């Protein structure tokens, strides 16, 4: 799993490009102290700020949500049955699951 620590990511991007904190700050239009506070872990930047700084260092920051199967779930055992249903019935299953999830959010 990738290290998602903002201070690590920023230091690594800066290190790989050979920039000093001051040089990176100048490219990003901010102060060296901002870069230093993030790299030292004193400040936890927003995703937007981190992305801006990493971009200024010449990198792109990608994030991705991946559905992780829940182990030992009875729902996983039902997948085979659902896949055998005609498309219309699959949609009905989906509607039922959506209704359940909406109700569960209000609990």
Token pair belonging to 55: 């971009």
39-42-44 Cα angle (round to 5): 80
Cβ partners under 8 Å of residue 41, min gap 6: 5, 7
pTM, to two decimals: 0.61
Q: What backbone phi and psi angles, to 5 degrees, belong to 17?
A: -95, -5
The residue behind tokens 């999830």 is 101
Instruction: Provide, rounded to the nearest whole percent, the portion of the chain with pLDDT above 90.
Output: 52
Map out the domains of the chain with their CATH numbers.
6-56 (1.10.260.40), 74-105 (no CATH)
- Per residue in 49-92, pLDDT tens? 999 999 999 999 988 777 666 666 666 677 888 888 899 988 88
HSE, side-chain direction, 13 A CA sphere, residue 65? 1
Across the chain, mean pLDDT equals: 87
- State how far the Cα of 75 lies from the Cα of 96, in Å rounded to an integer: 13
């Amino acid at each position: 799993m990738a290290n998602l620590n903002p201070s690590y990511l920023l230091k690594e991007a800066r290190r790989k490009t050979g920039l000093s904190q001051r040089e990176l700050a100048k490219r990003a239009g901010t102060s060296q102290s901002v870069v230093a506070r993030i790299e030292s872990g004193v400040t936890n930047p927003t995703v937007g700020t981190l992305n801006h700084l990493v971009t200024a260092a010449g990198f792109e920051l990608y994030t991705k949500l991946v559905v992780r199967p829940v182990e030992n779930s009875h729902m996983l055992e039902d997948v085979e049955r659902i896949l055998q249903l005609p498309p219309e019935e699959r949609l009905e299953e989906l509607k039922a699951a959506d209704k359940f999830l909406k109700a569960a959010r209000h609990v």
